[in-house]
Structure 1
Amino acid sequence: MEAKSSNRCSFWLPKKKRSCANTRIESSMFCGNHSQRLEGQWIPCPIDPSHSVLQENLEWHVKRCPLLKQTVELSGQRFYQKGINAGNDEEEEKMGSCSLVTSEMKRNLLYSMSVSKFHQLIKKIEDVHGGICKDIEDSYLSPEACNIWFNKEIDRKLPFQEKHVLQQGSILGNLEEIGVLKRCNINVECCESDLEEKDDNTAPAVVEFGAGRGYLTQMLADCYGIKKVYLVERKSYKLKADRSLRQKESLVLERMRIDIEDLNLNAVESLHGVPYVAVGKHLCGPATDLSLRCCLSRQDGESPVLRGLAIATCCHHLSQWKSYINKEYILSLGISKDEFHIMTSFTSWAVDDDHGSKLPGVDDIDLLDSK
C-alpha cells in the first residue's frame, strides 16, 4: 500500500481534500497535469488549441492529433465555410473592432470603472429594461402532444430527467402555440404544419443547433411526427439519441459534427427548398447569435425555408460583441461595446455567491453611500 501511494502524484487538491490520484512522472513528484510547465515548453496545438503539447513533440503530435482526421474530412464538405456566421468586415468597420474579449478582459473593464460610472450603467440598464421588457411574459407550456414523455410512457432505455423533459416540452409547446408545429393524431403518421401549403401533409424538418445527445429532437420525433432531422454539434457524445431515432420508420437523420460558426446551411443539399424548424436548448453565449446568423443568411430559390425558431439561451457571460447579431440595436439604446461586455459579465453574478468581494478596494458601504 505504501509503495503504491509513493507512485502517486503529490499535488494537493484542496476542494477534494486529498492528493491527486494520477501516477507521477519519473524523476518528478507530480503527474503530467501538475508538473511545472516551464515558459515556452508547452504550446497550444495548432489544430486544436484547447490542449497543449510539448514543443519538442509538436511535429509528431500534429500528424496524430485526434482532431486532424475530422478537420480534413470536414474541409471537404460543401456546407463547411470557415467563419461564415462569425460576422463580417463591414460590421467591424461600422461598429468598431470585433476581436475576442476574454472573461478576464471583461472583469478588468468592470473593475476600471469608477463607482459613479458603475451606478450610471446600472441605472441605464434598469431604464432600458423597463422601457422594452414590460410586455414580455413567461410562457411555460406543457403540451398534450408530449404526454407520452411527461407520463414516462417511452422506451425505458431512453434517459429520463423530469427537469429536462419539462423544459423541452415547453419549448415544443410554444412552437405549437404559434402554429409552427401541430400535434399528431395517434393514427396519423405525419403531422401537418399550419404554415405549410394545404397539399403538403408532411411535417417540417428539424435542425437542432448545439444538439448534444439529441434528446430534444427525440421528443419532437416522438410527439410531432418529424421525419427529417439534422443535428448540429461540434463535440462527440456517447449515449446519443441517434440509435433510437434511426430505428424510427421513414425518419431521415443527419448528424453534422461542425462548429455552428462554420456551417453554411444553404449548402446542405438534402435541405434545399425544404421547410424547417430550428431549435436549440442551452446554446451557450455566442452560439445563439451564430445560430441566428446561420438561419437568417441570404437565401435563394434553393435555400431551406425557415418556418420557426425556438432557442433556450444560457451562459450569457460568454457572449461576444464580435458575434452579436444586433449591434445597431444595442448602440441605439445608448449602450457602448465596452458596456455590452460589462453587462455580459454581470450575468455571471447570478451564480456567484460572493462577487462583491472581488471588487478591489470597494466596500459595500462605499457603494451604498455613493448613491
Structure 2
Amino acid sequence: MAPKTFQNPDLDCVEEMAEAERRCRFWLPKKRRFCANLPIPNSSFCGNHTARSDSQWIPCPIDPSHSVLQDNLESHVKRCPLLKQAQSLSLYPYFQKGINAGNDDEERVPPNLCRTALPSNYPSTSSDHASSEMKRNAVYSLTLPRFCALIDKIKTLHESISKEIRDSFRVPEACNKWIRREVDRKMPFQEKHVIQQASILGNLEDFGILRNPSNTDDSEVPAVVEFGAGRGYLTQLLADCYGIKRVFLVERKSYKLKADRSLRQKESLVLERLRIDIEDLNLNAVESLQGLPFLATGKHLCGPATDLTLRCCLGQHMAHSDASNSGIQGLAIATCCHHLCQWKHYINKRYLRNLGIGMEEFHALTWFTSWAVDADHGSNLPEISDPRILLPSE
C-alpha cells in the first residue's frame, strides 16, 4: 500500500482559516460551525453571544414588553419603534394613561384575614406586578403542610360556589351561514374558532342582548366594541350574521387586518379601529361612541385584560359620567391565560376578601391555573388518596 502524503493547505484555505479567526467564536452545534457574525471590540464573541448578566437588561420605558441593554437605553429610547405610536396616542382625547389599571391600595385586605393558609415568612409578591417567576418561587417556597392547607381552602371555596357555575354552549341559527361555510371563501376558516365565536353570540342572544336579524329592526341593533380584537374575526361573524352597523375594534398591537378589509366593503357598516392599550382607554371620551347603545365583546382576553375591559366599560369613571354617554347594553368575554392575572388589576377584590383571599393567595391561585393545561402527570404519582400522610408533623 502506498504511504499517505500530506500537502500544505493552499492559499485559499489559509485565507479561509484567517477569516474564521475574525468571526465570533460561539459554536453552533446544529449547524456544526462557528457563528458567522463579527465579534464586538475586545471580545471573541459577537453581541448576540457575549455573556451578559441579567442586571444589564432593563425593560424599555416606552414598552416594557421588550428589554434593552442599560448602556444602550438612551439611544434606544430615541429610536424605539413604539415611540411614534406613543407620541401620537397622547393627542387623542380618549387616551388617559392607566385609567383602567386599578389601584394598589384599593380593597386592601387585612393580613390577619387573608393569609391564614400561608406562613409568616411567605415571600411577598409586588401588588403592582408579579412576574411568573415571582409567582412560581412563592408557591414553591411553601412547605408541604402549608401547601395542602391552601389546596383544602381552594377546594372548600369552590364547592361553595360551584353550583352557581353552569356550562352554556349554544350555536344560534343566525350563525349557520358561517358554520356551513356559506360566506366569503377568502376569509380564514377554523371550525374550532368559529364554533367558539358562535357560542359567545348564542349566549348573548339567549340574554336578549342580540336578536335574530330576521326579527330585528335596524334601529335596534347596538354598536359593538370588541376588546382585544386582533384581526377582528369575532366582529366579522357579528357583521355577517347579525347585521351590526357600527364597530369599534380595540387592539394595542398591529395585525394584517384581514377582517378589516372585508368589513370595510360592507357599505352599511362603519368601522373604527382604536390602536390603544385597554388599560389607557377612556371609552367615555370616544366621541363617535357617545350616546350610542353598545355591546362589549372579547375573545380571548389574556390575563388582566379581562379586568381592564370590565373597568373600561363599568368603572367608576363611567359611573360618574353623563348617563346618556354610557349606553352599554351587555358584555360577553371569553377569558384565557389566568396565570397572568394581577392583584392590582383584579376588579373584584372585595369578593375575594370576603372569601378570605388576599394578594399572596391570589397570586398562588393564578399560578395554579396554569397546571390545568399542563400534561397529565397522574401516572407518575403514587396511588395515595391523601398525600398528607407522607408529611412530617410541624
State the TM-score bracket (shorter-chain normalisation). Answer: 0.7 to 0.9
Q: With structure 1 as the length reference, what TM-score do the two structures score?
A: 0.84
Q: Over alpha carbons, which structure has the higher Rg?
A: 2
Q: Please tell me whether residue 104 in structure 1 is matched to residue 119 in structure 2.
A: no
Residue 113 of structure 1 aligns to a residue whose secondary structure is coil
Q: Please tell me whether residue 204 in structure 1 is matched to residue 239 in structure 2.
A: no
| Letter matched to residue 209 of structure 2 | V
Q: 1:44 aligns with which of 59, 73, 82?
A: 59
- How far residue 54 of structure 1 moved from its aligned partner, in angstroms, is 4.1
Structure 1 unmatched runs, 5+: 193-199, 357-361
CA contact (8 A) 2:148 2:388 kept: no
- How far residue 137 of structure 1 moved from its aligned partner, in angstroms, is 1.7
> Map of 1:167-316 to 2, 5 A cutoff?
167-185=196-214, 191-192=216-217, 201-297=219-315, 298=319, 299-316=321-338
1:94-134 deviations in Å (ceiling 9; x for gaps): 67873211112212221222222211211111111111121
How many residues are matched?
350
- Of residues 314-323 and 32-41 in structure 1, the stretch that sits farther from structure 2 once superposed is 32-41
Q: 1:367 aligns with which of 371, 380, 387?
A: 387
CA contact (8 A) 1:10 1:19 kept: no
- How far residue 61 of structure 1 moved from its aligned partner, in angstroms, is 2.6
Which residue does the alignment assign to 2:153? 124
| Separation in structure 2 between the aligned mates of residue 146 and residue 82 of structure 1, nearest angstrom | 38
Q: Compared with structure 1, are the counterparts of its residues 335 and 8 closer, same or farther at alpha carbon in structure 2 (3 Å cutoff)?
A: same
| Separation in structure 1 between the aligned mates of residue 153 and residue 37 of structure 2, nearest angstrom | 54
Which residue does the alignment assign to 1:150? 179
| Separation in structure 2 between the aligned mates of residue 20 and residue 301 of structure 1, nearest angstrom | 68
| Separation in structure 2 between the aligned mates of residue 108 and residue 74 of structure 1, nearest angstrom | 37
CA contact (8 A) 1:349 1:355 kept: no
| Letter matched to residue 49 of structure 1 | P
Q: Compared with structure 1, are the counterparts of its residues 153 and 300 closer, same or farther at alpha carbon in structure 2 (3 Å cutoff)?
A: same
Which residue does the alignment assign to 1:159? 188
- How far residue 171 of structure 1 moved from its aligned partner, in angstroms, is 0.4
C-alpha RMSD of the superposition: 3.1
Q: Compared with structure 1, are the counterparts of its residues 48 and 219 closer, same or farther at alpha carbon in structure 2 (3 Å cutoff)?
A: same
Residue 63 of structure 2 aligns to a residue whose secondary structure is coil
| Separation in structure 1 between the aligned mates of residue 34 and residue 182 of structure 2, nearest angstrom | 43
- How far residue 59 of structure 1 moved from its aligned partner, in angstroms, is 3.3
Q: Compared with structure 1, are the counterparts of its residues 86 and 40 closer, same or farther at alpha carbon in structure 2 (3 Å cutoff)?
A: closer
| Letter matched to residue 294 of structure 2 | Y
| Letter matched to residue 329 of structure 1 | Y
1:40-85 deviations in Å (ceiling 9; x for gaps): 6544332223333344543333222110110011011111101111
- Of residues 241-250 and 53-62 in structure 1, the stretch that sits farther from structure 2 once superposed is 53-62
| Separation in structure 2 between the aligned mates of residue 38 and residue 9 of structure 1, nearest angstrom | 19
| Separation in structure 1 between the aligned mates of residue 190 and residue 268 of structure 2, nearest angstrom | 28
CA contact (8 A) 1:115 1:367 kept: no
Residue 281 of structure 1 aligns to a residue whose secondary structure is strand
CA contact (8 A) 1:214 1:241 kept: yes
| Letter matched to residue 302 of structure 2 | C
| Separation in structure 1 between the aligned mates of residue 133 and residue 176 of structure 2, nearest angstrom | 45
Residue 134 of structure 1 aligns to a residue whose secondary structure is helix
CA contact (8 A) 1:278 1:309 kept: yes
- How far residue 26 of structure 1 moved from its aligned partner, in angstroms, is 3.5
Q: Please tell me whether residue 24 in structure 1 is matched to residue 24 in structure 2.
A: no
- How far residue 338 of structure 1 moved from its aligned partner, in angstroms, is 1.1
CA contact (8 A) 1:9 1:20 kept: no
Q: Please tell me whether residue 67 in structure 1 is matched to residue 82 in structure 2.
A: yes
Q: With structure 2 as the length reference, what TM-score do the two structures score?
A: 0.80
| Letter matched to residue 62 of structure 1 | V
| Separation in structure 1 between the aligned mates of residue 25 and residue 230 of structure 2, nearest angstrom | 34
Which residue does the alignment assign to 1:79? 94
| Separation in structure 2 between the aligned mates of residue 178 and residue 104 of structure 1, nearest angstrom | 40
| Letter matched to residue 250 of structure 1 | S
| Separation in structure 1 between the aligned mates of residue 281 and residue 377 of structure 2, nearest angstrom | 37
| Separation in structure 2 between the aligned mates of residue 95 and residue 276 of structure 1, nearest angstrom | 38
Q: Indicate the percent of aligned positions where both proteins have the same amino acid.
A: 63
